[in-house]
Amino acid sequence: MSFIEISKKNYFHNLDILCDKLGSKERLAVVLKDNAYGHGLVLMAKLSSEYGITKAIVRTSDEAKQIESYFKSIIVLVPNSNEENNPKHHFVINDISQIKNLPKGAKVHLKIDTGMHRSGILSKSLEEAYKLIKENDLVLEAVMTHFRSADELSSELFWQQKNWKDVKENVLKLTLKYNFKQPLFHSANSATLLRVSNYQDDFVRCGIATFGYHQMPSCYEMPKLKPILSLWAEKITTRDLKAGQRVGYGGAFTAQKDMKVSTYDIGYGDGFFRYKNENMFLGKVSMDSCVIEGDAQKVCILDDASEIANHFNTISYDVLVKLSPMIDRVIVR
Ligand SMILES: *Cc1c(COP(=O)(O)O)cnc(C)c1O
């Protein structure tokens, strides 16, 4: 059976780098949405909690429930319209109309659109949101935003940070006016944290960097993060090919010499890519298998997602997140 190994050593190495930069473990919230970017939701929750992380971020309450025992609080990025109150769940408000649908007493994080124009309320609607939060008896735990260009070589991040600063000043005024407790602020993803030298807000939301990747242009000096996931396949069968024999669909590979080849139990049905890369695979990757030279019992199919990501002109997130949740995941030292 194919399997995924998660290196605890590399994970803790990455968390050390990020927490050093922040000055404390309390300031790092780990983003575990989408099966922890393919790494395994519960397994990554366990490991990060063992390290001392107290906040996690997921997409839905269903995900939050699965990891509830590991954290003090869990932020749900995309709440639905019939959420139940849960003292550990914090709901992100992505749109002003959502406020009236959240259960009384719920803890909320108000998201502000500071220039990404994807989700969050407009800064001019801040006071209206405060009124609605009060009317609906919600608890405003935090105000947040998201930066769109932290991993690009441009000054856009600084323009958006200026907008964010204005929002925060406004929040402080409204907090006094409406007699709310002072909300926390959070804005940075991995790229922002890696890029800026003095992050001011209360905590960061880190996903990809914890898993050992960044997408920063090479001109930025980056700490040495280590990928933590490796994907392994096991042998199904071995055969001897004669020179001239062809392998797989369309006979896409032709043996130039007599050779031993084996079939392994990973394919595009496992969320791997259907691709032709003769450094590794002989012929095309099939749905449930691929053919590789030799007869090793198991082979490592992937231990650095950025190589495949570059090949397909996409990003490491895209490669990792697609790995099937059905593959067994195990922690190794
Ligand atoms: C996914 C997500 C993050 C994490 O981004 P990384 O680039 O993986 O660090 C942070 N904030 C929000 C709102 C997100 O949706």
pLDDT band at 279, cuts 50/70/90?
A: confident
The residue whose CA has the least distance to atom 15 of ligand 1 is 77
Look-up of token digits 């980056």: 222
Cα 322–328–333 angle (5° rounding)? 105
- State yes or no: pLDDT of 150 exceeds 90: no
309 touches 302 (CB < 8 A): no
The CA 190 to ligand 1 mean position distance, Å, reads: 7
> How big, in percent rounded to 5, are the helix, strand and coil portions of the chain?
35, 25, 45
The residues annotated as belonging to the active site are 33, 249
Is pLDDT of 80 > 90?
A: yes
110 lines ligand 1 (CB under 6 A): no
| Distance in Å, CA 56 to ligand 1 centroid | 11
pTM: 0.96
Give the CB-side neighbour count of residue 271, counting CA atoms within 13 A: 20
- Any atom of ligand 1 within 6 Å of the Cβ of 195: no
Closest by CA position to 188, among listed 179, 180, 177, 196: 196
Domains and CATH numbers, the chain: 8-206 (3.20.20.10), 229-303 (2.40.37.10)
Segment 211-232 shows an average pLDDT of 93
Residue 31 CB less than 6 A away from ligand 1? yes
Mean pLDDT of 143-166: 90
Cβ(320) to ligand 1 under 6 A? no
Which run of H or E residues covers position 108?
strand 107-113
pLDDT in tens, 288-313: 999 999 999 999 999 999 999 999 99
Give the pLDDT confidence score for residue 179 in this predicted structure: 95
Q: Compute φ and ψ for 73, nearest 5 degrees.
A: -145, 150
Looking at the CA of residue 144, tell me the nearest atom of ligand 1: 13
Average pLDDT, the chain: 96
Q: Which residues pair with 291 in a beta bridge?
A: 263
CB of residue 59 inside a 6 A radius of ligand 1? no
